[in-house]
Amino acid sequence: MRKYLVALLIKILRFTFNLGFFIGMVFHEPPSLVFILIIGLSIFTFLIGELWILRTFGNSIALFSDFLFLISGLFIIHSAMGVKIQFGHGFLFFLITIALTIEEFVYHNYVQRKVFGKNIPSIIDRINSL
């Protein structure tokens, strides 16, 4: 159970940095919206993306589903909170989603190795074998 909580905490910290910086500081969205985004998206993508999709279907499908969850979640939560979404928001959402998806690749490797106990090569080992 501790491994799962540590993995969730890592995900929440990653989302806090990315969403807090880009949406909170750059776009000056209210802290309540940023907090809802961080908690909602990190917990949802952890429960569905890591614990179900990553374990069942593997890294490629999990990365694609995380991309879809993140970009749609950003639009849905902003719309539900009454924020008028403009072109700049869409572009920012796309950039944040790309950055988080790249981070998810590394994070999935961590989850598979440390949480699920799979014996897969680390990213450094994969790079060195090229």
**pLDDT tens digits, 98-130:** 999 999 999 999 999 999 999 888 778 878 888
Closest CA to 42 of 22, 15, 24: 15
Domain count, the chain: 1
- Is 102 inside a domain boundary? yes
Q: Where are the beta strands (DSSP E) in the chain?
A: none
Query: What predicted TM-score, i.e. pTM, was given to this entire model?
Result: 0.87
Return the SS3 of 52.
helix
pLDDT (tens digit per residue) in 72-89: 999 999 899 888 888 888
CA 25, 27, 48, 55: dihedral to nearest 10 degrees?
Answer: -60
Residue 56 included in any domain: yes
> In sequence order, which residues have a C-beta less than 8 Å from that of residue 103 and are 6 or more positions away?
14, 18
Domain of residue 93: give its range.
2-125
Tell whether 101 is covered by a domain. Answer: yes
130 in a structural domain: no
